[in-house]
Amino acid sequence: MTVSCDSVRTWLSAWIDGERTPLSSEDFERHLAECSDCAKSARELRGFLRTVSSAYVPAPVPGALEASIRKLAWRRSFSQRAAPLIAAGAVAAAIALVVFTALRPAPVQAASLADASAWAHEGLAGGVLPLDVEAGNADELSRWLTERVGFRVVLPKLEDSTLVFNGGRLVQLEGGSAAVVSFQRNGEQVSLGIAPRHVAGGPANAPQTELFRNMKFTTSTLRGLHVISWSEGELSYALVSRVPATGRASCAVCHGVNSGLKSVEDFHGMR
């Protein structure tokens, strides 16, 4: 028994489009073989769809649009390909940071300016503690430090050819900040710590004191380094180096020729 024309017409488009219908292909084929009207409808629809399909020409894609989208895809693809490399770089940087942190001297809130200066000197000289500022000019370095430590830093000009500024670093004492100025004298690393007198404290390691023109100079050995400490006005100083902490050589670190400070020859001549 064949299906009705209404039923075939209802599902004809879907069947020709290859979709599933409630009627089987055998139902359609049997009906179309027997019904000329439905067969004509089927031929017309097939012809129409073939025509639409063959007459269809997609609009050309504008070159700028295609270029823009290809660029977009390339960027996305590149960022995805680069992501593992970026992640690996980040891991390497993190490892380097951990290693660097482990190797550098432990950050201190030293009890005294002498201790803090010795710690900073050790790190700076060993290359594991970076300078906060690199400056070869006394005025520039004085200004940079003054803006950050809360007291006025005045450095000697150090126009002596044997003295070279490296730069400066800030360190923390229990009572406030200190500036550490890094020099080289005849290739020897020297650090000068400067802090307000009331926070500077005193070295705990068997200091020796010496009075010179009403100023008390304290010498001590910290971490194998020679430290000379003194105070003048509102500020205290700690000079750290491997240079012997006695005699004119130590004073000459700052009071060199053309330093703007009193000549070291005058000190020792007055003594």
Looking at beta carbons only, is 9 or 152 nearer to another protein? 9
* Binding segment toward another protein, per CB under 8 A, in 47-55, 131-139, 171-179, 196-204: 47-55
Residue type, 155: L
DSSP letter for each residue of 84-117: HHHHHHHHHHHHHHHHHHHHSPPP-EESSHHHHH
Query: Which residues are bridge partners to 10 per DSSP?
Result: none
- For the window 53-82, what string marks contact with another protein as x by the rule CB under 8 A? x-xxxxxxxx--xx-xxx-xx--xx--x--
Q: Closest distance between another protein and the C-beta of residue 73, in Å?
A: 4
Nearer CB in complex with another protein: 6/232 = 6
Q: Residue 48, interface with another protein (CB under 8 A)?
A: yes
CA distance 256 to 260: 8
- Asked if 14 interacts with another protein (CB under 8 A), we say yes
Cβ-contact 195, 176 below 8 angstroms = yes
Is 44 near another protein (CB under 8 A)? yes
Interface residue with another protein, options 22, 24, 37, 49 (CB under 8 A)? 49
Q: Which residues contact 183 (CB under 8 A, 6 or more apart)?
A: 158, 163, 164, 165, 166, 189, 190, 191, 192, 253
To the nearest 10 degrees (0 to 180), the angle between helices 36-55 and 25-34 is 110
Minimum CB separation of residue 12 from another protein in Å reads: 9
Contacts with another protein by CB under 8 A lie at 13-14, 17-19, 40, 43-45, 47-53, 55-62, 65-66, 68-70, 72-73, 76-77, 80
